């Protein structure tokens, strides 16, 4: 078909852009209403299968994207990037069954950070083993303490005690402070004499066939576990989550049997922005199998709560050994990297090809030297991570950089380190990676990192105050920073402090601010604000 009117293609695009303009759907920070009473969903076991999950996201999904016209049009910048949907008018994520704003909104004190999601430690004494661990690569079992709570027990390899345990202990607390739902993880020394095998205990044996678990199986598990000089086993214990497990959530699409689930998961900001947090923690195993939906039942309502779990592949841990050099930089099989290496005839030396040696086995291969927040990769593609936009990244970076050096050291101190210097090394590396993330995603070429807008004063003294997160977190120089603002159709005015006089502003006037880091030599991306009639900031639009 020949298009006679040359104006037609741009016209269609304009029309689409009208529909696709950034949307801000809520009033500021109103909790989501995704906890309505629902019928009990069936348990979804699809996420238990890592082969098909990996094959789909590494190969099939990548090919499908080439057939996705929306993806192609976004890739070639003909359509705007599809922004996250569950955001409020201040471009933030309301509390929901997925996420609860914590440290990023209101600072947690050191005790709260160190405590994290913990409620009650496993009861010491006899534990009854109900089931041998059938999936995953660490040996372990499911047990019940004398208080009747379910305990998921797993062990690091004897050669690397603490490697995976530290990931679970520390990353779970950081992610909890960030706002995610996570299980309680405990470091626990178990006396093997306290382990009692239930007569009904089962284990998946050869060919994954379920059979009765025997003392020999238990001895086999104990033999591989790290031990202290008294023969006690260093265990990683997580407490069973409240509710009924209904299987993992997918990072793509919706859960069809959950009517509360109305935002496609790849378009949820807390899942997209999770990429920034996982890049910080170097958790390369953020996949469907490491999540869980729990059906929470109470007197007035029952609904699904969504958890992230199993962080043992965080930092430098590859679960049973330190990470390989490419982990965190490439997918397990990464056609893009392979093609680039192939076509460069070896001239492209990947920055991670020459890593520093593993200094502390308890930390594994975790460093900041080759860390690139933009191209960080997990084990295989995560659709929510792939769809992360600059606004999503800003949201995640805002949370990451909310952790001060002291916050990080407080949380890291709750890990298990037997080698002097290991704890300090992990904390320092987290601090360095946090700063690399902050400098990258708060850069003006990415976004205007202004936040925490509020209107102060009255009458002629009324002002809009805000916080420049790059300056506040020391990623930019205050002395050379300037802010250029325009109210409504007025003139551009430059100020050097993060405050704008509002006297004379009319209701409905939009305020547009741009930032410069070189005393006004060049200006970054703008940010726009709308004020309500009563003088509150009702909308923030990041361009």
Partner 1 sequence: MDMRLASVLILTGLLAAPHAYAAEFAPEPSGNADAIGKKRLYRSQTSLYRILALPRYALELPWYPAKRFLDFSERTDLFARATDLFYFNEAKTSGWFPKFSSGESSGGAGLSLFHHDLFKKKHQANISFSYAAEDEFFGRAAYTVDPTPDSSYYLKVESDYIRDRDIEIYTTPTPSGGPILGAKTLRSDRRSYAFTSLRGKLTAGKKMSKTVRMAAFVRGARSKAGHGAQGFAPVPTNAPGFGESVGMAGGGMELIWDFRNDPVRPFYGCLVQAHAEALGSGDSTAAGDRFAYVGHSLTAEHYFPLYDPHRTLVFRHSLRRVDPIGDKRIPFYDLPRLDENHLLRSFERNRFQDRGALSFNMEYRYPIWVTWDAFFFFDGGQSFEHYSDLHGPDFRFSEGLGIRMMSKDKLLFVTQYAHGREGGRFQVLLGQAF
- For residues 379 and 295, the answer to whether their CB atoms sit within 8 Å is no
**Residue number with CB closer to partner 1 (21 or 474):** 21
Dihedral through CA 443, CA 447, CA 450, CA 453, nearest 10? -170
Under the criterion CB under 8 A, does residue 298 sit at the interface with partner 1?
no
Under the criterion CB under 8 A, does residue 357 sit at the interface with partner 1?
no
Give least dist CB 541 to partner 1, A: 10
Question: Concatenated DSSP letters for 423-480?
Answer: HHHHHHHHHHHHHHHHHHHTSTTT---EEEEEEE--GGG-EEEEEEHHHHTTSS-STT
**Which residue(s) pair with 455 in the sheet?**
464
Cα separation of 90 and 87, whole Å? Answer: 8
- For residues 320 and 161, the answer to whether their CB atoms sit within 8 Å is no
**Residue number with CB closer to partner 1 (418 or 532):** 532
**Residue number with CB closer to partner 1 (34 or 184):** 34
**Residue number with CB closer to partner 1 (46 or 495):** 46
Give least dist CB 455 to partner 1, A: 20
Query: Of residues 77-136, which lie at the interface with partner 1 (CB under 8 A)?
Result: 82-83, 85-87, 89, 94
Under the criterion CB under 8 A, does residue 43 sit at the interface with partner 1?
no
Cα separation of 245 and 369, whole Å? Answer: 40
Residues in binding contact with partner 1, number by CB under 8 A: 73
Under the criterion CB under 8 A, does residue 55 sit at the interface with partner 1?
yes
Query: Of residues 162-201, which lie at the interface with partner 1 (CB under 8 A)?
Result: none
Under the criterion CB under 8 A, does residue 389 sit at the interface with partner 1?
no
Under the criterion CB under 8 A, does residue 386 sit at the interface with partner 1?
no
Give least dist CB 49 to partner 1, A: 5
**Residue number with CB closer to partner 1 (71 or 463):** 71
- For residues 47 and 53, the answer to whether their CB atoms sit within 8 Å is yes
Under the criterion CB under 8 A, does residue 512 sit at the interface with partner 1?
no
CB atoms within 10 A of CB 309: 21
Under the criterion CB under 8 A, does residue 26 sit at the interface with partner 1?
yes
**Residue number with CB closer to partner 1 (14 or 495):** 14
Query: Of residues 251-270, which lie at the interface with partner 1 (CB under 8 A)?
Result: 259-260, 262-264, 267
Under the criterion CB under 8 A, does residue 8 sit at the interface with partner 1?
yes
**Most distant pair of Cα atoms in the chain: their distance:** 85
Give least dist CB 209 to partner 1, A: 8
Cα separation of 216 and 142, whole Å? Answer: 16
The Cα-based distances of 145 to 110, 217, 227, 335 in angstroms read 30, 20, 21, 47
Give least dist CB 45 to partner 1, A: 9
DSSP structure class, residue 316: B
**Residue number with CB closer to partner 1 (329 or 517):** 329
- Of the candidate residues 28, 49, 355, 404, the single one contacting partner 1 (CB under 8 A): 49
SS (H, E, C) 75-129: HCCCCCCCCCCCCECCCCCCCCCCECCCCCCCCCCHHHHHHCCCCCCCCCCCEEE
**Residue number with CB closer to partner 1 (73 or 368):** 73
Cα separation of 75 and 474, whole Å? Answer: 33
Under the criterion CB under 8 A, does residue 56 sit at the interface with partner 1?
yes
Cα separation of 92 and 101, whole Å? Answer: 10
Under the criterion CB under 8 A, does residue 29 sit at the interface with partner 1?
no
Query: Of residues 216-235, which lie at the interface with partner 1 (CB under 8 A)?
Result: none
Give least dist CB 461 to partner 1, A: 31
**Residue number with CB closer to partner 1 (44 or 184):** 44
Under the criterion CB under 8 A, does residue 68 sit at the interface with partner 1?
yes
**Residue number with CB closer to partner 1 (229 or 300):** 300
**Which residue(s) pair with 140 in the sheet?**
154
The Cα-based distances of 386 to 23, 124, 274, 292, 315 in angstroms read 20, 44, 11, 21, 21
DSSP structure class, residue 183: -
Under the criterion CB under 8 A, does residue 207 sit at the interface with partner 1?
yes
Under the criterion CB under 8 A, does residue 4 sit at the interface with partner 1?
yes
Under the criterion CB under 8 A, does residue 7 sit at the interface with partner 1?
yes
Give least dist CB 492 to partner 1, A: 25
- For residues 208 and 134, the answer to whether their CB atoms sit within 8 Å is yes
Under the criterion CB under 8 A, does residue 354 sit at the interface with partner 1?
yes
Under the criterion CB under 8 A, does residue 345 sit at the interface with partner 1?
yes
Under the criterion CB under 8 A, does residue 34 sit at the interface with partner 1?
yes
Query: Of residues 325-344, which lie at the interface with partner 1 (CB under 8 A)?
Result: 326, 333-334, 337-338, 341-342
Under the criterion CB under 8 A, does residue 137 sit at the interface with partner 1?
no
Angle at Cα 89 formed by Cα 84 and Cα 94, nearest 5°? 65
What three-state secondary structure class fits 541? strand
């Amino acid at each position: 078909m020949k298009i006679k009117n040359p104006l037609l293609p741009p016209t269609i695009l304009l029309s689409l852009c009208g529909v696709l303009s950034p949307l801000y759907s809520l009033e500021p920070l109103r909790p989501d209403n995704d906890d309505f009473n629902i019928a009990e969903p069936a348990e979804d076991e699809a996420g238990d299968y890592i082969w098909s999950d990996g094959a789909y996201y590494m190969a099939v999904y990548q090919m499908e994207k080439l057939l996705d016209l929306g993806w192609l049009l976004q890739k070639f910048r003909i359509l705007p990037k599809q922004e996250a949907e569950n955001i409020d008018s201040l471009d933030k994520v309301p509390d929901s069954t997925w996420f609860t704003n914590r440290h990023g909104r209101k600072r947690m004190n050191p005790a709260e950070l160190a405590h994290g999601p913990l409620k009650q430690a496993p009861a010491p004494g006899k534990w009854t083993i109900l089931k041998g661990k059938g999936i995953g690569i660490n040996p372990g079992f499911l047990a019940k303490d004398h208080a009747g709570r379910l305990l998921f027990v797993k062990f690091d390899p004897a050669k690397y005690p603490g490697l995976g345990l530290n990931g679970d202990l520390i990353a779970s607390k950081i992610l909890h402070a960030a706002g995610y739902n996570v299980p309680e993880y405990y470091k626990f020394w178990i006396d093997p004499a306290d382990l009692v095998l239930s007569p009904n205990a089962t284990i998946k044996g050869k060919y994954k066939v379920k059979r009765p678990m025997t003392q020999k199986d238990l001895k086999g598990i104990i033999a591989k576990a790290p031990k202290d000089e008294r023969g006690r086993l260093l265990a990683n214990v997580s407490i069973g989550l409240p509710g009924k497990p209904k299987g993992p959530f997918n990072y793509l699409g919706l859960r069809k049997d959950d009517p509360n689930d109305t935002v496609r998961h790849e378009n949820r900001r807390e899942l997209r922005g999770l990429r920034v947090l996982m890049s910080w923690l170097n958790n390369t195993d953020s996949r469907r199998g490491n999540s869980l939906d729990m059906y929470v039942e109470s007197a007035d309502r029952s609904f699904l709560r969504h958890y992230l779990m199993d962080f043992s592949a965080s930092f430098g841990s590859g679960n049973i050994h330190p990470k390989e050099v490419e982990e965190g930089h490439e997918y397990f099989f990464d056609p893009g990297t392979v093609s680039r290496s192939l076509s460069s005839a070896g001239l492209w030396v990947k920055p991670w090809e020459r890593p520093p040696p593993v200094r502390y086995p308890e930390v594994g291969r975790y460093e900041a030297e080759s860390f690139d927040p933009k191209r960080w990769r997990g084990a295989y593609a995560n659709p929510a991570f792939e769809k992360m936009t600059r606004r999503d990244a800003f949201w995640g970076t805002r949370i990451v950089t909310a952790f001060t050096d002291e916050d990080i050291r407080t949380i890291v101190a709750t890990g298990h380190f037997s080698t002097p210097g290991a704890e300090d090394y992990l904390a320092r590396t987290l601090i360095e990676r946090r700063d690399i993330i902050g400098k990258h995603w708060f850069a003006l070429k990415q976004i205007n990192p202004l936040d925490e807008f509020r209107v102060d004063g009255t009458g002629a003294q009324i002002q809009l105050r805000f916080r420049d997160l790059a300056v506040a977190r020391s990623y930019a120089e205050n002395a050379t920073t300037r802010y250029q603002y325009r109210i409504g159709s007025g003139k551009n005015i430059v100020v050097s402090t993060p405050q704008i006089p509002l006297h004379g502003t009319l209701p409905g006037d939009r305020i547009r601010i741009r930032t410069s880091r070189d005393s006004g030599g060049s200006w970054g991306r703008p940010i726009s604000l709308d004020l309500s009639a009563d003088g509150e900031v009702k909308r923030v639009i990041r361009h």
